[in-house]
A = this chain, B = another copy of it.
Amino acid sequence: MTAYANLSAHFGRAAALGNAIGILQWDNDVMMPKGAAGTRAESLALLRVMHHGLTTDERIGDWLAEAEVQDGLGPWERANLREIRRLWTVETALPADLVEASSKAISACEMRWRQARAESDFAGLLPFLAEVLTLQREIGRAKGEKLGLSPYDALLNDYEPGGRSATIDALFDDLAAFLPGFTQEALAVQARRPQTPDPEGPFAIEAQRALGLRMMAALGYDFERGRLDVSTHPFCGGADNDVRITTRYDEADFAKALMGVLHETGHALYEQGRPQAYLHQPVGQARGMSLHESQSLLVEMQACRSEEFIAYAAPLMREAFGGSGPAWETDALWRRYTRVEPGFIRVDADEVTYPAHVILRYRLEKALIADAMPLSELPVAWSAGMKELLGVTVPNDRLGCLQDVHWPSGGWGYFPTYTLGAMTAAQIFDAACRAQPEILPGIGRGDFAPLLAWLRTNIHSQGCLLETDDLLTQATGRPLDASVFKAHLQRRYGG
């Protein structure tokens, strides 16, 4: 076997193990009876150790060195080697005792966080979160040394390979200058419109589920390689060729589940569209979290909150729930799904105010990792940021800096990908609609085939063949900037 063949077989095994982990984690979140939690945690921990063992196998370094000078490899194989080296560099960067210390600190902090959030008790969380932060800094330093990156960029790199905070700073500063004023403008526009009532429930869960399945089918989701189920926190997970999404139903508001389903379907379409020939290889994976989020937001925000989509979907909504009257008029439904309302909670935020939540978190976590701000000042800095960016006064830490699990669970460097994703979605959708004028009229008829075909060709099937910037440039003509996203907001919400 050539060195490349060895690597390919080896990482194919790692993928098979990763697929097992994916299904066990899905089951954990969707199906598992609660008495099995301890047993499952043991199984998952063992499989993750085994997976880490595979991706840090001592033969990989030699195979890589040999394969990288091997003749006869095509562009996909070369890109696969690049991704394997990337993975291997990161996986071997950390000493085992740091991994273990971090894992323990995260477990303790996550558990303490549930209580602290419920009691709005930042002081109680502080020592636990400080420990997690200290270890994240060490992890960032260790990875950064290997990668030639700052600690924060090294952490970011795990979620957004090739992402750099210098680039994000510029993008986010641009948005941050635009958003506070624009939010006020959007609110003013909204206030001038006549008020329409909201559809009134209860909305039967079976009818909500049927409507969700119908939309998934229309979008091109492949039910032979996935499922729709229920979980507390909606997600897209599972395995290669087994891309499962979840939602949760609220009998008082069918839009939550439906928009959640559309969002996760966007993620799932990306996963189902990855290149089959490299499905189990690093080069066949999704390009990064920003691009992943761009696919969910492209479906949920760009396509499925458009007037075209509502024109198609409103009759189906009326039919599904037997709705009639002013609340069910197409225009009323569209306004409901595009309502702007500054609030405290990120996950409840609309398209206009969401980026402010993310920019705040990004700025804070960058300062904290750089040790440029004491962790004890987080609540004060949080409130100041919310005031500045969103114009709201945070009443307590439960509705403030304690609301998200990301920091307690060690997800430092993740937050920016949400808004990078939103901007990327706007830029990609805009390019797609220019290249294929049938996309928007198609959506108006419930025909997503032109959109999906364009995404399959230009994004999904590309895997990790290119770096993110190069992929975006190939697909849209230029690297990411904020202009298309701003223009999109202006068009949909502006005066």
CB pair A31–B227 under 8 Å, yes or no, is: yes
**How many of these chains are in the complex?**
2
Of A27, A36, A239, A240, chain B has the most CB atoms within 10 Å of the CB of A36
In Å, the complex CA distance between A223 and B13 comes to 35
Nearest B residue to A21 via CB reads B20
In Å, the complex CA distance between A320 and B436 comes to 57
Per-residue B-contact encoding for A424-456, CB less than 8 Å = 1, 0 else: 000000000000000000000000000000000
Closest beta carbon of chain B to A263's beta carbon, Å: 20
CB pair B20–A225 under 8 Å, yes or no, is: no
A242 contacts chain B at the CB level, 8 A cutoff: yes
CB pair B33–A227 under 8 Å, yes or no, is: yes
Give the contact-size bracket for chain A: 20 to 34
Of A17, A24, A33, A45, chain B has the most CB atoms within 10 Å of the CB of A33
Taking a contact as CB atoms closer than 8 A, the residue among B35, B46, B227 that contacts A13 in the complex is B46
CB pair A242–B39 under 8 Å, yes or no, is: yes
Residues of B within 8 A of A43 (CB): 16-17, 19-20, 23, 239
A218 contacts chain B at the CB level, 8 A cutoff: no
Of A23, A32, A34, A239, chain B has the most CB atoms within 10 Å of the CB of A23
Binding site for B on A (CB under 8 A): 13, 16-17, 19-20, 23-24, 27, 31-36, 38-40, 42-47, 50, 222-227, 239-242
19 residue pairs bridging A and B, Cβ less than 8 Å apart? A16-B39, A16-B42, A16-B43, A16-B45, A16-B46, A17-B43, A19-B40, A20-B24, A20-B47, A23-B23, A23-B40, A32-B242, A33-B224, A34-B224, A35-B222, A35-B225, A35-B242, A39-B240, A43-B239
Given A17-B46, A23-B23, A50-B50, 15 further pairs, Cβ under 8 A: A13-B46, A16-B45, A17-B47, A19-B40, A19-B43, A20-B24, A20-B47, A23-B24, A24-B24, A31-B31, A33-B227, A39-B239, A40-B239, A40-B242, A43-B239
